Amino acid sequence: MSEEPTLHSRRALILKFDLPISKTREFWESLKNGKFVTTKCMKCGNVCFPPQSDCPKCMGGEFEWVDLGRDATLITCTHVSVRPPSFTGSDPYIIAIGEFPGGTKVLAWLEGVKREEAMPGMKLRVEGRNSAEGNPFYVFVRA
């Protein structure tokens, strides 16, 4: 296998993108108001997170918004010390999967908890935040 000659640039590559949110606007608006909602398929009752405009189970396109509440239970988590390039400016962090009553699972950063304290079964609460750029996001904190 011959290797092609390559110029190695050490400049950072910045990727900027816009994510369309028209079909999930309700989620972001609710988050601003302290509510954590998602979509429920009106045909088969499948509750999805993140919110979906088409049901991955039955392909139905009609859905309603349901309130998941704020309380979840930690199912599993991982401590990320080797960050991906877009997060090298962040301190090491914990990514957690929290399960809401009813079984919906949500992946989010776990904030304010030391890695040795994060244990399955821990009671969590989901909270809305805004990034430095003004974009809304959500995290888990200890309940």
- Give the residues lining the site for Zn ion (CB under 5 A): 41, 43-44, 46, 55, 57-58, 60
Please spell the DSSP secondary structure of 9-41, one letter per residue. Answer: --SPP--------GGGHHHHHHHHTT--EEEEE
Phi and psi for 96 in degrees, rounded to 5? Answer: -125, 155
For residue 24, the minimal CB distance to Zn ion (Å) is 17
In sign, the C-alpha dihedral spanning 80, 84, 87, 89 is positive
Nearer to Zn ion, 46 or 73 (CB): 46
CB of 35 to Zn ion, least distance (A): 23
| In the complex, minimum distance from the CB of residue 63 to Zn ion, in angstroms, rounded to a whole number | 8
Amino acid, single-letter form, for residue 40? K
Task: Give 58 or 119: the residue with its C-beta nearer to Zn ion.
Answer: 58
**Which CB sits closer to Zn ion, 56 or 92?**
56
